[in-house]
Chains A and B, each alone.
Chain A
Amino acid sequence: MVIHYKCPNCGSDMEFDAVSGMLSCGSCGRKDNIEDFSEEFITTTFSEDEAKQYNCNNCGAVIITEADTTATNCSFCGAGVVLGDRLSGDLAPAKVIPFTISKEEAMAAFRKWCRNGRLTPKGFMTADRVKGITGLYVPFWLYDLDSKADVKAVGTRVRTYTRGNYIYTEKKFYDVYRDIDLSYVKVPVDASEKLDDTLMDKLEPYDYQKFKDFKTPYLAGYIAEKYNFSDEELFSRVKTKVQPYIDSYIRSTISGYSSVNYKSKNIRTKKTKAHYVLLPVWMVYYDFDKQEHTFAMNGQTGKIVGKPPISLGKVASWFGGIAAAAFVTLKIISYAVGGVLW
């Protein structure tokens, strides 16, 4: 089941427009509000392996897709198509954050980011070899978690005082117990196999105020994927993700000790809800020095992540400059205080 949006005015292909947040026609400029769009495409259920082959509604060519793709462009005529049956039933996302940064804005932001690269080689900063930029809706699970923590620890308070010729060190030991309920909401974990987890983690945070109920037109003109891992499969990953948050909260409840030695920390985390959502990411592919570098940009906030090439020369000159400046400063201070330069 292929969904394709044809402009009611002129018959051109319609795509989602990040600037206006509407479905818009590139030819005549017609804009349609997505909220008012018919929901029939999502509610239609197909069994997943029913459709082996998709044909473009626009030109009839076979649409070549990967198994995970839920939205793409027809490789023949370029029309944005949405594969409706891959977005229905269990695979229907609850919410979506639409792109707010358009392709042009993303490109400009990326070029600007490259210019600001203080450690990147000169040739990289010009950003003239960007191979491609792709707007991608990445599947995420948002977990609501309830945790219960039972913590046993020994807290030590140290006090020193002087009596006569002796210095006394007094150590008081306390038996510390805490029973804590913790709650975290909408912790995102990327559910796509292809994308690097650490890269996706760095893209956070997204502004959850801008969540929209999922409608297929948001995907028109972009690439979208369905999840590869269910919420059950990724539960362990979200647990490791909130672990440091829980630890820091526990630490904040145990105060007034010079040192705390944990005897046992029993944390049980259960999922109260998992939402399947699509979050917008611009992927930028950049060829530099015979290597492809991949960057990801948060399609909502514009935050850019990804390892840029590092110029050793620039690292050395920054290091030398900072060290020299620090040395001169120290010398000036020591001259001001001690009156001697060497």
Chain B
Amino acid sequence: MSRRFLTLSILFTSLFIFTSFSLQVVEASSKQYIYDSAELLSEEQVMELEGSIKEFGEKQETDFIIHTTNDTSGKSIKTYMGDFYDEHAFGYDQPKGNTILLTVSVDPTKREVFLAGFERGEEYLDNERIELVLDKITPHLSDKNFYQAFQQAISTSNDYMEYRPGVNPESVLLKTWFQLVVALAVGGIIVGTMVYNSGGRVTVTSRTYFNENNTRVNSKRDMFVNKTVTKRRKPSNNNKSRGGRGGGGGITGGGSSFSGGGRSF
């Protein structure tokens, strides 16, 4: 009996040690992705988002950080974001490494969002792509659907980062439906011409019976009569987005370069 007890206790102890060890491992590798200071998300929503972020991280080798606040302590949201990054030194691969940082400020006087990409994030989510992501999420933010906005930001960033840097991921040329339409049109035109020409083509042209010797322009006149000039204002760049634009990337106080874009909502 004592022998049996011994075996059991050894088993239990080892099991305990093993689980506590493995728990520690999990804890060590589990970073914090969501800093919800403004308390915009419920407990389950945070769990759900973390799940999405982990998936995102595995695919893109980039951490996606969500940071909400209701006080940017007087700084611009861009500076505030930069300081937050420097302070936490985020990164999937290394401190201050591959990161996408989404900052949402719900300061009652100034509701803003800023999305920034560092390292791999800067390369694969450049300013143009960030603008495209912001185009998609700003409506949700305006409607106070923060959870939806964040999910959208994660999945859209994930989609865009699949594309090679410099390519516009929303380009119609890359859309499957467009390619399908073009392919069908090409097939239709070629086969249509084949059917049309199956009975033989007319191969005479306007030159076939043309007699050069007796064809000439006897007189010609090209007289200027009048002219009209119309003018319109050059389309300016800042009428594209509704909110103010805290545009472009930059360099944080700590010296990390990033791509970025911001809106107020």
On chain A, the residues within 8 Å of B221 by CB distance are 175-178
Judged by a CB distance under 8 angstroms, whether B215 is at the interface is: yes
Judged by a CB distance under 8 angstroms, whether B227 is at the interface is: yes
On chain B, the residues within 8 Å of A183 by CB distance are 210-211, 213-215
Residue in B162, B206, B225 whose CB lies within 8 Å of A175: B225
Please give the distance in Å from A166's CB to the nearest CB on chain B: 4
Per the bound structure, the CA–CA distance linking A306 and B198 in Å amounts to 8
Chain A 153-188 per-residue mask, 1 if CB under 8 angstroms from chain B, else 0: 011000000100111111111111111111111110
Judged by a CB distance under 8 angstroms, whether A322 is at the interface is: yes
Q: Interface segment, B86-94, B130-138, B181-189?
A: B181-189
Q: Are A319 and B198 in contact (CB-based, < 8 A)?
A: no
Q: Are A318 and B198 in contact (CB-based, < 8 A)?
A: no
Q: Other than the known A185-B209, A248-B206, A342-B176, what 8 A-B pairs have Cβ atoms closer than 8 Å?
A: A146-B214, A168-B230, A173-B228, A174-B222, A183-B215, A307-B198, A338-B171, A340-B163
Residue in A167, A182, A318, A337 whose CB lies within 8 Å of B191: A318
| Interface SS, B side | mixed
Could you give 13 example pairs across A and B, Cβ below 8 Å? A169-B231, A171-B227, A175-B221, A181-B218, A183-B215, A253-B220, A315-B191, A315-B195, A322-B190, A326-B182, A327-B180, A338-B163, A339-B162
Chain A 317-336 per-residue mask, 1 if CB under 8 angstroms from chain B, else 0: 01111111011001100100
Judged by a CB distance under 8 angstroms, whether A245 is at the interface is: yes
Judged by a CB distance under 8 angstroms, whether A204 is at the interface is: yes
Interface residues of B in 222-252 (CB under 8 A from A): 222-234
Per the bound structure, the CA–CA distance linking A322 and B195 in Å amounts to 14
Chain A 123-159 per-residue mask, 1 if CB under 8 angstroms from chain B, else 0: 0000000000000000000000010000000110000
Q: Are B229 and A168 in contact (CB-based, < 8 A)?
A: yes
Chain B 130-164 per-residue mask, 1 if CB under 8 angstroms from chain A, else 0: 00000000000000000000000000000000111
Q: Are B174 and A334 in contact (CB-based, < 8 A)?
A: yes
Residue in B186, B191, B204, B217 whose CB lies within 8 Å of A253: B217
Per the bound structure, the CA–CA distance linking A166 and B179 in Å amounts to 37
Q: Are B211 and A326 in contact (CB-based, < 8 A)?
A: no
Please give the distance in Å from A313's CB to the nearest CB on chain B: 12
Judged by a CB distance under 8 angstroms, whether A201 is at the interface is: yes
Given contacts A169-B231, A245-B206, A249-B206, A185 and B220 within 8 Å (CB-CB):
no
Judged by a CB distance under 8 angstroms, whether B208 is at the interface is: yes
Per the bound structure, the CA–CA distance linking A177 and B176 in Å amounts to 51
Closest to A316 in B: B191
On chain A, the residues within 8 Å of B209 by CB distance are 184-187, 242, 245
The chain B residues found within 8 Å of chain A, CB to CB, are: 162-164, 167, 169, 171, 173-174, 176, 179-180, 182-184, 186-188, 190-191, 194-195, 198-204, 206, 208-211, 213-234
Please give the distance in Å from B52's CB to the nearest CB on chain A: 20
Per the bound structure, the CA–CA distance linking A154 and B216 in Å amounts to 21
Q: Are B167 and A338 in contact (CB-based, < 8 A)?
A: yes
Given contacts A172-B227, A245-B209, A178 and B220 within 8 Å (CB-CB):
yes
Q: Are B215 and A166 in contact (CB-based, < 8 A)?
A: no
On chain B, the residues within 8 Å of A202 by CB distance are 199-203
Per the bound structure, the CA–CA distance linking A270 and B186 in Å amounts to 44
Judged by a CB distance under 8 angstroms, whether A303 is at the interface is: yes
Judged by a CB distance under 8 angstroms, whether A51 is at the interface is: no
On chain B, the residues within 8 Å of A263 by CB distance are none
Q: Are B191 and A322 in contact (CB-based, < 8 A)?
A: yes
Q: Are A331 and B200 in contact (CB-based, < 8 A)?
A: no
Please give the distance in Å from B219's CB to the nearest CB on chain A: 5
Q: Are B191 and A168 in contact (CB-based, < 8 A)?
A: no
Per the bound structure, the CA–CA distance linking A334 and B171 in Å amounts to 10
Closest to B180 in A: A327
Q: Are A120 and B198 in contact (CB-based, < 8 A)?
A: yes
Closest to A178 in B: B220
Judged by a CB distance under 8 angstroms, whether A308 is at the interface is: yes
Q: Are B167 and A339 in contact (CB-based, < 8 A)?
A: yes
Judged by a CB distance under 8 angstroms, whether A305 is at the interface is: yes
Per the bound structure, the CA–CA distance linking A327 and B176 in Å amounts to 9
Residue in A169, A176, A307 whose CB lies within 8 Å of B229: A169
Closest to A164 in B: B234
Q: Are B184 and A172 in contact (CB-based, < 8 A)?
A: no
Q: Are A310 and B217 in contact (CB-based, < 8 A)?
A: no
Chain A 231-248 per-residue mask, 1 if CB under 8 angstroms from chain B, else 0: 000000000001011001
Please give the distance in Å from A295's CB to the nearest CB on chain B: 9
Judged by a CB distance under 8 angstroms, whether A304 is at the interface is: yes
On chain B, the residues within 8 Å of A268 by CB distance are none
Judged by a CB distance under 8 angstroms, whether A118 is at the interface is: yes
Q: Are A323 and B183 in contact (CB-based, < 8 A)?
A: yes
Please give the distance in Å from B75's CB to the nearest CB on chain A: 34
Q: Are A179 and B183 in contact (CB-based, < 8 A)?
A: no
Please give the distance in Å from B102's CB to the nearest CB on chain A: 23
Judged by a CB distance under 8 angstroms, whether A117 is at the interface is: yes
